[in-house]
Structure 1
Amino acid sequence: MRTEIMGVGFDDLTLDEAASAAAGMIDAGGFHYVVTPNPELVDRARREEPFRQALNGADLVLPDGIGVVYAAKILGRSLKGRCPGIDFAGKLMEHMAKTGLRLYLLGAKPGVAEAAAARLEARYPGLTICGTHDGYFKEDAPVVEAIRAAEADVVFVCLGAPKQEYWMVKNGPATGARLMAGLGGSLDVFAGVVERAPESWQKLGLEWLYRLKKEPKRIGRMARLPLFLVAALGERGKAGKRA
């Protein structure tokens, strides 16, 4: 049973539970995909039906941003906490390193995925990264074939939203992979190109503020968070009137 937040149904799981669920999907076979919406993406999904369908059609929908957790509280609904995509990926790679599963990295600028692969294999001894491809491609077919030829079990799709979600829905089954996860700019962090917020900021749910401090040009995007919470208050008001 999912927790519906502004039209998007989230799985109410801890980070460990989410990674365990993903591991179970890999073992089960078939194709599965994971999305990690933040408030900006939930807001977009409210306005764009195809994107909302792509999010809700995922096998796992994890709350990436603290704003989603706040909205859940405003609406009187339960979420155990944030499940940032990059942390979910870390937990999953720990499992993959122990079980011999093969990972493919897709996205970011040329050279970034390769750099990320080298750092990740050093960080997770035993992890097999079977291939990489940058996100600057025009035709899907060669990328699909490359993933299939690499015999990837899991693919981290880092093309940015909504492109990565649509790409997984359209091409995932043809790749032969058993699990895909849409992870936005995670490859830049894995490669060391972008610095992540210190752990103390993460624990306080202020990773968004740290990113704003580092990239002031993001102010326009960050300003949507208060508007998102105001919209949640409006949804609660409507629900109260209907009751």
Structure 2
Amino acid sequence: MSLIDRVSGAVSGSLITGIPSLDIDGTPVHLIDDEDARGIISDAAARYGTRPLAVISINLDHVHHFGTSRLAARHIAAAPVDDSLEWLNLVDGAPIAQQARRVNGTPCPKLSGSDLIGPVLDDAGARGLSIAVLGGMPEVTGALRARLETDWPQVRFAGHWTPSREELASPATSSRIAAEIRNARADIVLVCLGKPRQEQWIAEYGAATGAGALLAFGAVVDFLAGRVSRAPRWISDAGMEWAWRLMLEPKRLARRYLIEGPPAYLAVRRSPA
């Protein structure tokens, strides 16, 4: 997306105007590079748009939980579209990038949350913005705070919320958390609850946080805190980061990658050109 598109979009109140998209099993995936993605996120965090921006990663796990055909296979109705937020849907994972290349004939960059979070925090520091984190374990709060203070000292740490699954299932508790984040004046909320909870939480409570940008970035809290190591760059570039994560956390991730992943991959390949 060009700078002209971004400026005209901001004037119209939308930060994603003019971005081309590709249908992946019913989800519009925005075809955008890392520079424009971080620019849009930074502008949203600074409240240049009229609605909060929700940023989510489209990968096979997303297709399993939210793809039209996968929902139909499980006899689940799709949730209504929430127009209180703008949704920026980023290519994440080799199968999605490969499908985009097959359809468009040109390479499409993979924009995972773990790759974007550093540049996003760089931009937040340059603008003196603040970040709140929702998700992860309570014991990583100290390491998370220390990492942010060391690497991004100009970013204000607005707090770390670590609710249990039972607490997240409570509308009263989630509403209280959203209100606390609003009172903490967070510009960016890093939502690391795993799919589908993080996207569902953002849809239901994201606007109530008062943040300009909400990033559904899964395991990024653990990467930042140093609890889980990222795959080496060559493994990620080869599209095998899933295998690295499966090796590190087989009990938690085996079902996602070995059982739920193959049908989702077929749904991606069957998406309309």
Indicate if the aligned counterparts of 1:106 and 1:158 stay in contact, CA closer than 8 A: yes
Give the corresponding residue for 1:231. Answer: 267
Matches within 5 A, 1:9-28: 9-27=28-46, 28=48
Indicate whether 1:45 and 2:66 are aligned. Answer: yes
Indicate if the aligned counterparts of 1:103 and 1:130 stay in contact, CA closer than 8 A: yes
Larger mean CA deviation between 221-230 and 95-104 belongs to: 221-230
**Structure 2 residue corresponding to 1:174, chosen from 208, 218, 226:** 208
* Distance change in 2, residues 1:232/1:36 (3 Å): closer
Indicate if the aligned counterparts of 2:96 and 2:268 stay in contact, CA closer than 8 A: no
Indicate if the aligned counterparts of 1:69 and 1:82 stay in contact, CA closer than 8 A: yes
5+ residue gaps, structure 1: none
Per-residue CA deviation, residues 170-193 of structure 1 (Å, 9 max, x unaligned), is 112222111111111211111111
Per-residue CA deviation, residues 82-138 of structure 1 (Å, 9 max, x unaligned), is 100122222110101111001111111223244212212212232211211113234
Give the corresponding residue for 1:196. Answer: 230
The 2-side partners of 1:140 and 1:228 are apart by 30
Indicate whether 1:2 and 2:21 are aligned. Answer: yes
Give the corresponding residue for 1:220. Answer: 255
TM-score (norm 2): 0.77
Indicate if the aligned counterparts of 1:45 and 1:52 stay in contact, CA closer than 8 A: no
TM-superposed CA distance for 1:63, in Å, is: 1.5
SS, match of residue 122 in structure 1: helix
Matches within 5 A, 1:45-124: 45-46=66-67, 47=71, 48-50=76-78, 53=81, 58-75=86-103, 80-124=108-152
**Structure 1 residue corresponding to 2:239, chosen from 205, 219, 226:** 205
SS, match of residue 9 in structure 1: strand
Indicate whether 1:158 and 2:192 are aligned. Answer: yes
The 2-side partners of 1:219 and 1:174 are apart by 35
TM-score (norm 1): 0.86
Indicate whether 1:148 and 2:182 are aligned. Answer: yes
Indicate if the aligned counterparts of 1:75 and 1:232 stay in contact, CA closer than 8 A: no
Indicate if the aligned counterparts of 2:52 and 2:86 stay in contact, CA closer than 8 A: no
TM-superposed CA distance for 1:49, in Å, is: 4.3
> Counterpart of 1:174 in structure 2: which amino acid?
A
The 1-side partners of 2:155 and 2:91 are apart by 26
Per-residue CA deviation, residues 184-227 of structure 1 (Å, 9 max, x unaligned), is 12111111111111122122222112112223333332224444
5+ residue gaps, structure 2: 1-19
TM-superposed CA distance for 1:148, in Å, is: 1.2
The 2-side partners of 1:38 and 1:51 are apart by 19
* Distance change in 2, residues 1:207/1:167 (3 Å): same
* Distance change in 2, residues 1:52/1:214 (3 Å): farther
TM-superposed CA distance for 1:74, in Å, is: 4.3
> Counterpart of 2:54 in structure 1: which amino acid?
Y
The 2-side partners of 1:45 and 1:106 are apart by 21
CA RMSD of aligned residues (A): 2.4
SS, match of residue 180 in structure 1: strand
Number of residue equivalences: 236
SS, match of residue 160 in structure 2: strand
The 2-side partners of 1:155 and 1:41 are apart by 20
Give the corresponding residue for 2:162. Answer: 134
